[in-house]
A and B are shown apart, each in its own frame.
Chain A
Amino acid sequence: AQSVTQLGSHVSVSEGALVLLRCNYSSSVPPYLFWYVQYPNQGLQLLLKYTTGATLVKGINGFEAEFKKSETSFHLTKPSAHMSDAAEYFCAVSDGNKLVFGAGTILRVKS
């Protein structure tokens, strides 16, 4: 079965600093990978996805993620954090008709 591990339940960065949220997956088949963001009292919003092709995927709000098969990783990055990026971020891997989610990483942005 597919699984996802997000390293660090909380990450704190200063405004303008690099954001790096880590995700490692386990999959018995070529994976389809996703990052979602959740703002307080809202649903999950798709940030970006990797299916096939280019391993560097660009998403909304300046985020990008790189699929590294050799490391079974799909880390999320943003060059410069903004206060509005404070939220919870979920990595997910496709498992048939389901998505398997990681436990989430809460991003705090300090002014």
Chain B
Amino acid sequence: ETGVTQTPRHLVMGMTNKKSLKCEQHLGHNAMYWYKQSAKKPLELMFVYSLEERVENNSVPSRFSPECPNSSHLFLHLHTLQPEDSALYLCASSQEEQGGNEQYFGPGTRLTVT
């Protein structure tokens, strides 16, 4: 595997379910990100992890819970979601350095909450 992978690619869940999204990067990067992409809305940064520590949480509801056990893996645990949480969830990674840090994205998980 190369680049950034995400599983599952598609997920349908009820509002009372608990599920997790998984992201793995094979690039040796030290920072990872979760984004939410909804139709007709700009890309929303949800969480940033740098060196496995959460450095940013952009006022995301507590029904989304991230976990970064090591620099290669990132999870997003989901529970009691709402229909408006249906979206494409994108994971990205980068190598932090002075100045611009280009991010490499996974293919995303298309989440539908019923």
Contacts and interface: CB of A to CB of B under 8 A. Distances in A.
Contacts of B88: 41
Nearest to A94: B100
A45 B105 contact: yes
Contact of B56 (A34, A98, A99, A103): A98
Contacts of A99: 45, 101, 103
Given A34-B102, A51-B99, A97-B48, A43 B42 contact: no
B96 A104 contact: no
B48 A98 contact: yes
B108 A41 contact: yes
B43 A101 contact: yes
Contacts of B106: 43
B110 interface: yes
- Tell me if B's interface is mostly helix, strand, loop or mixed: strand
A97 B110 contact: no
Contacts of A43: 4, 6, 90, 92, 105-108
Nearest to A29: B99
Interface of B: 4, 6, 31, 33, 42-43, 45, 48, 50, 55-56, 88, 90, 92, 94, 96, 99-108, 110
18 contacts: A32-B100, A41-B88, A43-B90, A43-B106, A44-B103, A49-B100, A49-B102, A51-B99, A51-B100, A94-B100, A94-B101, A97-B50, A97-B55, A97-B101, A99-B45, A101-B43, A103-B42, A104-B42
A46 B71 CA distance: 21
Given A41-B110, A43-B90, A97-B96, A90 B43 contact: yes
A42 interface: yes
B100 A34 contact: yes
A94 B42 CA distance: 16
